[in-house]
Amino acid sequence: MIQTEATPNPESLKFISENKISASGTVEFQKNDINKTTNPFIREILGFKGVELVLLSDNFLSVKKTKAMSWNELKPMVISHLNHYFENNKEPILKKKEKLEDINENKEVSETIKKIIDVLDTKIRPAVARDGGDIKFKSFEKGIVKVELQGSCSGCPSSLMTLKQGVQNLLKHYVKEVNSVEAD
């Protein structure tokens, strides 16, 4: 059974499943990158009229729509698509790592960056996930942490406040080298 939950962003809705949706962590797919997407399930949802992006996580999927599209029209389509998938498949929608990049893959990661990523992963990402979104570390330079807000957080009216009051304050508290946080 699929349940839905509102998010702080009125243009995003969180679809929760008892089935595992992603075995590769939280991954975002945008409509303008549909040609790069090989996963048929994701391609179909991105193909729905009014869908801008889809974020998949362990047990939920967030959909961000255009203002012109109504949830009354779109919500049953997404629920039906999810139910159909899990009626015919036992494995998660994302089975393997389908992420485009791994942060600092071949670079030596400083202790400060390790601390920043740890705080993001343990203290911030779970809260952001409850709202149907995700936050990704992008870089740290001269006291400035750059992050990317994804899913419901992308374009959310309250995301700037969340970033400055929540994320920045937590990171500054736990990692003394951090002066500010910016969206990338």
User: pLDDT at residue 100 above 50?
Assistant: no
| CA angle 89–92–94, rounded 5-degree value | 125
Of the two residues 99 and 75, the one the predictor is more confident about is 75
Residue 83's alpha-carbon distances to 19, 86, 90, in angstroms, are 10, 5, 11
Q: For 112-129, write each residue's pLDDT tens digit.
A: 888 888 888 888 887 778
CB 60 within 8 A of CB 85: no
pLDDT value of position 173: 87
The mean pLDDT value of the chain amounts to 85
For residues 152-177, average pLDDT: 78
Provide the pLDDT confidence category of residue 102 given band limits of 50, 70 and 90.
very low
User: pLDDT at residue 106 above 60?
Assistant: no
How is residue 115 written in tokens?
A: 């601390």
Provide the pLDDT confidence category of residue 98 given band limits of 50, 70 and 90.
very low
For residues 78-101, average pLDDT: 82
Any bridge partners for residue 134, and if so which?
A: 150
β-strands 133-141, 144-151: how paired? antiparallel
- The Cβ-side half-sphere exposure at 116, using a 13 Å CA radius, reads 27
Interatomic CA distance for residues 138 and 103, integer angstroms: 7
pLDDT value of position 99: 43
Structural domains for the chain:
2-88 (3.30.1370.70), 111-183 (3.30.300.130)
Q: Which residue has the tokens 């996963």?
A: 39
Interatomic CA distance for residues 120 and 71, integer angstroms: 31
pLDDT value of position 40: 92
Of the two residues 164 and 1, the one the predictor is more confident about is 1
pLDDT value of position 101: 43
β-strands 180-183, 144-151: how paired? parallel
Interatomic CA distance for residues 62 and 140, integer angstroms: 28
Q: For 7-63, write each residue's pLDDT tens digit.
A: 888 899 999 999 999 988 888 899 998 888 889 999 999 999 999 999 999 889 999
CB 180 within 8 A of CB 143: yes
pLDDT value of position 103: 45
Interatomic CA distance for residues 56 and 42, integer angstroms: 9
Interatomic CA distance for residues 27 and 162, integer angstroms: 20
> Pick from 115, 167, 165: which is nearest to 146 by CA?
167
